[in-house]
Chain A
Amino acid sequence: MSFDPQSVRPDFPPLRDGRLLYFDNACMALRPQAVIDAVTAYYTEYPACGERSLHRLGQRVDGEVSLAREAARRLLGAKRVEEIVFTQNTTHAINLVALSFPFAAGDVVVTSDQEHNSNLLPWQQLSRAGVQHQAVPFGNLEALRAALTERVKLVSMVMTSNLDGASIDAKRTVQVAHEAGIPVLLDAAQAAPHQEIDVRSLEVDFLACSGHKMMGPSGTGILYGKRQWLERLRPTLVGGGTVTDSTLQAATYADVPERFEAGLQNYAGIIGLRAAIEYLERIGRAEIQAHEHRLTRQLHEGLARYDDIRIFGPPPEGRTGITSFAFEGIDVHDVCMLLDRSAGIAVRSGRHCVHSWFNAHHVEGTVRASLYLYNTEQEVAAFLQALAKVHDVLA
C-alpha cells in the first residue's frame, strides 16, 4: 500500500486549516509538530550549554546532541558518528570544506555548470589563493573524466539540482573521480530529504545537506566527511569547543568533529533536527520519493496542455519533486505572486541561486514548484486550476 499524505498532514501546523498550498519545499520544508516540540523542550526544560557544563542540564544537552549525531549518522549511512559535523546549513558545510581543504596554488576544483551559488562561490573565492575553478556540463561523466587532470584536487557536485530536480549519477561520479585519485564532495541539499542516501555505498568523501529542507529547524546542517579526510582538513573557524587546551602561543585541537564546531552550537536546532530525521525514518524516504514521483507525473501532465510553456529539466521519471517552468512572454514573478494572492499557493520564482546557469542559457527565470511528503493529488489539481486562471490573466 502506497504512502498516504493525508496521514501526516495533521502533523504540520501550517497545513491544518487547509488554506495553505505549499509548493516551495526546495527552499524550506514545513516542520511537523514533533520538531517544534523538540525545539520547545530544549528551551523550556534544559536550555543550557553542551560539552562544557557538568550540571544536569548540561549533561542532558550533551546526551541529546549525541542522539542527534547518531540520527544524522543513520540518515547518511555513515560508519561513525565522528564523521558527522553539525553546521548551520549546506552553504556553511561547503564553505567549511573550501576553507579547510589543503589546497595549494595552482590546484583546481571541478564542479558542474548547474551549481547553486553555495557550491560555486566558495570555489571562486579560492582564486585569491591561486586555486582555480572549472565547470563541466551537469551529469556528463565523460566531460568530467576529461577534466580530471593532475591539478584537480577536489570534485564538488550537486547531487540533485535545485533548479530542475535533475540528479547526477552520484555513484558513478564518485567512481570516476576516485579512478583519478580525486576526492568528491556532494551537495545533497535537495537529495537527502527526498531519497535514501548511503555514503558508504556511494564511497563519497564529503557530503553536505541542510536540516531546514528535511523538516528540521532553520540554521541546521550536516557535513559528512570520511574520518581520514576530516582529519586532513585545517580548522579555519576556531574558538570555544574546538580545542582541548591552549596557551598564549598555541592550542591543542580537539578530535573530529568537535574541532569544526566552534563556539556554542545551535543546540535547539540540532535537537530538533534529530526529531526531523526520526520523522523521516518513520515514513521512509523511499516512500516519500515514490510519492513525489506520482505527484510530479500528475503535475507534468497538467502542464503539458499549455502551448506556450517551457518545462526545464528531464521528464518526470528522471527528477525529484522539483519542477521548473516558464510561460513565453509572461514574467515568472507575476505568476508566482498571483498564485499566492489569488489562491494561497506558495511557489518560488526567479533564478533559484543558480544565476550562473541562467546567465549562460539566457533565461530570465522560472517558476519552481517543489513537492514533499505532505502534498497531495488534490493540491496538485488545485495548483493546476489556479495556474490556468493566472495564465488567463497574464497571457
Chain B
Amino acid sequence: MLCLLALLVFATLALFSARYRPLAREAVACVFRRITLRKCTTALDQRVKAMVTGRLMLSHPAAARFVHRHLEAMAWGFVLVGIAATGYLGYGFYNFHRYGNCNGPTGKGFCIFDPTGTYGRYSGIVTGQRGEKLAPGEHGGPALGPENARVTIIEFGSYSCPYTRATEPTTRELVRRYGNEIRFVFRHFPLDAVPAPRKEAGTTCEESSFEGVSAEHAGATQAAIAACCAAAQGRFWEYHALVSVRPDAIASCAGLTGLAIQVGLDEASFTRCLEDPAMRSRVQRDFEDGVKAGIFGTPTFFINGSVLVAPSAETLFAAVDEALGAPRP
C-alpha cells in the first residue's frame, strides 16, 4: 500500500520533473509486484517508511516506533479513505452536473467543488430540522402563472443571500420563457433566522431579526417582511426585483422604506405594515415550511416537488423542461 501511495505522489511529481520519474517507475514496479502477490524488491516502501519514521524520531520517538511497525496498516487506511473520498468526489461532480451544486438535492454536507467561488458561501446551513422532510406548498406566497399550470416552481430565498439575488433575473426569464405552462412562487427563508430562533423577535422593524444572526445576513427578515408588505399593496414582484439589486438597502428600515417609495408604494401604509405581526407570522411560516422541507441553502427550488439547490440557469431550465415532459429544442 505504501507503494501505491508513493505511486500516486511520484507519478504526479514526475509530470513536472524528470527527477521523480525513476521513483515513479520504482513505484509502478512495486505496485505490479504486489498486485501479483510478490514482495516488492525496489525497497521503495522501506525508503518511504524510513522517511516518515526518521522525521518522527526527532520529536516523538514513541510515535516513530508505532508508525514504523504499523505504517503498512495505516497506508491501507489511507488508501481506503482515498477510495471513499474519490467516490464522494465523483458523487459531488454528478450532483454538480445534475443539480448545479455538489451537495445533491436534499443532502447535507459541504461542497468542496466551487469553481466560481460562490457556492461555498451558502454551504453549511444547519436548520436543526430532524425527521421526515415535508414538501412545501404555496401557502399564499406571491405567485406568477395559473394555479393549474403543469409545473409549479417554489423558490425559497433570502434577500441577504447574494445567490438568491443573482438568481432573480433567471427566474424572471423562467416566467417569460414558459408563460402559462408554469406557476412560479417565491417564499421567504431569511437566513438571519438560521439557526432556528431561540427567542421571540421584537415587534418593531429594527428588532425584527432573530437572535444569533451573523452579520452577513443581518436584515434578511426585515427585507422579507418588507416584501410581504409590498405584496399587500400588489407590488411584490417590483419590490422583489429592486431589493435583489440593492442589498445595501436591507440593512435598515429606512433603506427598505426608500425602496418602497421607489416602486410607488404608499409610505405610511408600508411603514405601518413593517410592524404588523401578521407579516412577521407570514415570514415565520415560510421559514418554518422551509425548515420542514430540509432546506440547507438558498435559493432552493422545488419543481413539482423535486429539489434543486442553487442551480445554474441551464440546470433550472433543464429541470423545468423535464418536468414539463417535453424537452425543448
**B-contacting residues of A (Cβ < 8 Å)?**
331, 333-334, 337-338, 340-342, 389-390, 392-394
Q: Are A337 and B57 in contact (CB under 8 A)?
A: no
Pick the residue among B46, B54, B57 that contacts A331 (CB under 8 A): B46
Q: Are A341 and B61 in contact (CB under 8 A)?
A: no
- Tally of A-B residue pairs with Cβ under 8 A? 41
Docked complex Cα distance between A156 and B55 (Å): 45
Docked complex Cα distance between A337 and B68 (Å): 12
Q: How far is the CB of A92 from chain B (nearest CB, A)?
A: 26
The digit string for B50-74, where 1 denotes a CB below 8 A from any CB of A, is: 1101110110010011001000000
Whether A338 touches B46, Cβ cut-off 8 Å, given contacts A393-B68, A394-B68, is: no
Q: Are B65 and A337 in contact (CB under 8 A)?
A: no
Docked complex Cα distance between A337 and B46 (Å): 9
Q: Are B61 and A338 in contact (CB under 8 A)?
A: no
Docked complex Cα distance between A392 and B64 (Å): 10
Q: Are A341 and B50 in contact (CB under 8 A)?
A: yes
Whether A389 touches B57, Cβ cut-off 8 Å, given contacts A334-B50, A338-B50, is: yes
B172 is an interface residue with CB less than 8 A from chain A? no
- Residues of chain A with a CB closer than 8 A to B50's CB: 333-334, 337-338, 340-341
Q: How far is the CB of B65 from chain A (nearest CB, A)?
A: 5
Q: Are B53 and A393 in contact (CB under 8 A)?
A: yes
**A-contacting residues of B (Cβ < 8 Å)?**
43, 46-47, 49-51, 53-55, 57-58, 61, 64-65, 68
- Residues of chain A with a CB closer than 8 A to B61's CB: 389, 392-393
Q: Across chains A and B, which 4 residue pairs bring their CB atoms closest together, nearest first?
A: A341-B54, A337-B50, A342-B57, A342-B54
Q: Are A342 and B68 in contact (CB under 8 A)?
A: no
Which of B47, B49, B54, B58 has the largest count of A CB atoms less than 10 A from its CB?
Answer: B54
* Majority SS at the chain A contact face: helix
- Residues of chain B with a CB closer than 8 A to A331's CB: 46
- Residues of chain B with a CB closer than 8 A to A393's CB: 53, 57, 61, 64-65, 68
* Majority SS at the chain B contact face: helix
- Residues of chain A with a CB closer than 8 A to B55's CB: 341-342
A341 nearest in chain B by CB position:
B54
Docked complex Cα distance between A340 and B53 (Å): 11
Q: Are A334 and B57 in contact (CB under 8 A)?
A: no
Known A333-B43, A342-B55, A392-B65; further 20 A-B contacts with Cβ < 8 A: A333-B46, A333-B50, A334-B46, A334-B49, A334-B68, A337-B50, A337-B51, A338-B54, A338-B57, A341-B50, A341-B51, A341-B57, A342-B54, A342-B57, A342-B58, A389-B61, A393-B64, A393-B65, A393-B68, A394-B68
Q: How far is the CB of A301 from chain B (nearest CB, A)?
A: 24
B46 nearest in chain A by CB position:
A333
Docked complex Cα distance between A390 and B54 (Å): 9
Whether A341 touches B46, Cβ cut-off 8 Å, given contacts A393-B68, A394-B68, is: no
- Residues of chain B with a CB closer than 8 A to A338's CB: 50, 53-54, 57
10 contacts between A and B (CB under 8 A): A333-B46, A337-B46, A337-B47, A337-B50, A340-B50, A389-B61, A392-B61, A393-B53, A393-B65, A393-B68
Docked complex Cα distance between A393 and B68 (Å): 8
Q: How far is the CB of B279 from chain A (nearest CB, A)?
A: 69
- Residues of chain A with a CB closer than 8 A to B58's CB: 342
Q: How far is the CB of A389 from chain B (nearest CB, A)?
A: 6
A337 nearest in chain B by CB position:
B50
Docked complex Cα distance between A334 and B65 (Å): 12
Docked complex Cα distance between A334 and B64 (Å): 13
Q: How far is the CB of A338 from chain B (nearest CB, A)?
A: 5
- Residues of chain B with a CB closer than 8 A to A389's CB: 57, 61
- Residues of chain A with a CB closer than 8 A to B43's CB: 333
Docked complex Cα distance between A389 and B61 (Å): 8
Docked complex Cα distance between A333 and B49 (Å): 11
Docked complex Cα distance between A333 and B65 (Å): 16
A395 nearest in chain B by CB position:
B65
Q: Are A340 and B54 in contact (CB under 8 A)?
A: yes
Docked complex Cα distance between A328 and B57 (Å): 21
A344 nearest in chain B by CB position:
B54
Q: How far is the CB of B34 from chain A (nearest CB, A)?
A: 18
Q: How far is the CB of A394 from chain B (nearest CB, A)?
A: 7
Q: How far is the CB of B27 from chain A (nearest CB, A)?
A: 17
- Residues of chain A with a CB closer than 8 A to B64's CB: 393
Docked complex Cα distance between A333 and B46 (Å): 8
Q: How far is the CB of A126 from chain B (nearest CB, A)?
A: 30
Docked complex Cα distance between A392 and B66 (Å): 11
A390 nearest in chain B by CB position:
B57
Q: How far is the CB of B140 from chain A (nearest CB, A)?
A: 71
- Residues of chain B with a CB closer than 8 A to A337's CB: 46-47, 50-51, 54
Docked complex Cα distance between A195 and B65 (Å): 42
- Residues of chain B with a CB closer than 8 A to A340's CB: 50, 54
Docked complex Cα distance between A393 and B43 (Å): 19
Q: How far is the CB of B29 from chain A (nearest CB, A)?
A: 17
Docked complex Cα distance between A341 and B53 (Å): 8
Q: How far is the CB of A343 from chain B (nearest CB, A)?
A: 9
A331 nearest in chain B by CB position:
B46
Docked complex Cα distance between A390 and B64 (Å): 10
Which of A333, A340, A342 has the largest count of B CB atoms less than 10 A from its CB?
Answer: A342
Docked complex Cα distance between A341 and B58 (Å): 9
- Residues of chain A with a CB closer than 8 A to B54's CB: 337-338, 340-342
- Residues of chain A with a CB closer than 8 A to B65's CB: 392-393
- Residues of chain B with a CB closer than 8 A to A394's CB: 68
Q: How far is the CB of B295 from chain A (nearest CB, A)?
A: 52
Docked complex Cα distance between A211 and B132 (Å): 82
Q: How far is the CB of B33 from chain A (nearest CB, A)?
A: 17
B49 nearest in chain A by CB position:
A334
- Residues of chain A with a CB closer than 8 A to B47's CB: 337
Q: How far is the CB of B310 from chain A (nearest CB, A)?
A: 48
Q: How far is the CB of A217 from chain B (nearest CB, A)?
A: 24
Q: How far is the CB of A395 from chain B (nearest CB, A)?
A: 9
Docked complex Cα distance between A338 and B61 (Å): 12
Docked complex Cα distance between A341 and B56 (Å): 9
- Residues of chain A with a CB closer than 8 A to B53's CB: 338, 341, 393
- Residues of chain B with a CB closer than 8 A to A342's CB: 54-55, 57-58
Q: How far is the CB of A391 from chain B (nearest CB, A)?
A: 11
B66 nearest in chain A by CB position:
A393
B43 nearest in chain A by CB position:
A333
Which of B50, B51, B61, B65 has the largest count of A CB atoms less than 10 A from its CB?
Answer: B50
Docked complex Cα distance between A298 and B297 (Å): 72
